[in-house]
Amino acid sequence: MIEAEGLTKVFRDKKRVEVRAVDGVSFRVEPGQIYGLLGANGAGKTTTLRLLATLLKPTSGAATVAGFDVVRQAHEVRKQVGFLAASTALYGRLTARETITYFGRLNGLGDPEIAVRTRRLTEELDMGEFIDRRTDKFSTGMKQKVSIARTLIHDPAVMIFDEPTLGLDVLAARTIVRFIRDCRERGKTVIYSTHVMSEVEKLCDVIGIVHGGRIRAEGTLDALRARFGQRDMEEIFVAAVGGESALARQDVPPATTR
């Protein structure tokens, strides 16, 4: 369902120095899988997801989503994908229902279909108490639930989540993790970016450990435990990226447990 081959994205900083945010990333995600990208802040996770969602164009390499090329068939890719980032904003003057309806119409859905899907998402994401309230007074968790609903209103085959539980309390995070697990049960393909070890252990069928724009290790949780001789996911992560000194050189906080 998702295939990346040598995916690379190069930016230039203010001094015109090349920065390889993504450097030759290759992986596959099969239909109905949750693939986790685990890495510290600045590892290249978000840039990789933006390339797959057609928000950025790769410098080199290639990727397909649902059989469509992310460069040559970007419009078709967007029909297949729901993309959610932690920084997604809402229109404060709209209610949650109005927000979801608006994005349903943007995706070509009729109002009867939007109503049915909104009712289902409201139940699944536990939004009944605030579905008809304006979003400008919402908590972070409430906003994130509405953002997920608006992202998925067109029922995409592929869902891309970039740190979806960032800044949420435990109950809100549990609701979202449970919802993503349910999506897999319905046959959806999910790529899930996080730096939270426990989420990887609970959700992901396959894990790609990212550091310095590259995938340093990949496999199921059991396979990674066998490869690195560790049970603890944090220890596996540190070993895969080359030790604590490698994390320090990247100059970002390490991935965390929760």
Closest CA to 67 of 52, 77, 56, 78: 77
3-class DSSP assignment, residue 179: helix
Question: What average pLDDT score do residues 212-240 get?
Answer: 93
- pLDDT, tens digit, for every residue of 84-132? 876 668 899 999 999 999 999 998 899 999 999 999 999 988 899 999 9
Domain boundaries, the chain: 2-250
**pLDDT band, residue 246 (cuts 50/70/90):** low
- Pick the more confident residue, 207 or 168: 207
Percent of the chain residues topping a pLDDT of 90: 61
CB 164 within 8 A of CB 133: no
Query: Virtual CA dihedral for 71, 77, 78, 83, nearest 10 degrees?
Result: -100
Look at residue 254 and tell me whether its pLDDT is greater than 50: no
Which token pair is 175? 């609701």
CA distance 209 to 218: 6
- pLDDT, tens digit, for every residue of 4-19? 999 999 998 777 788 8
2-250: CATH superfamily: P-loop containing nucleotide triphosphate hydrolases (3.40.50.300)
- Report in angstroms the alpha-carbon separations of 170 from 158, 160, 182, 253: 26, 21, 18, 21
Give the single-character DSSP code of 196.
Answer: B
Angle at the Cα of 36 (from 35 to 39), degrees rounded to 5? 150
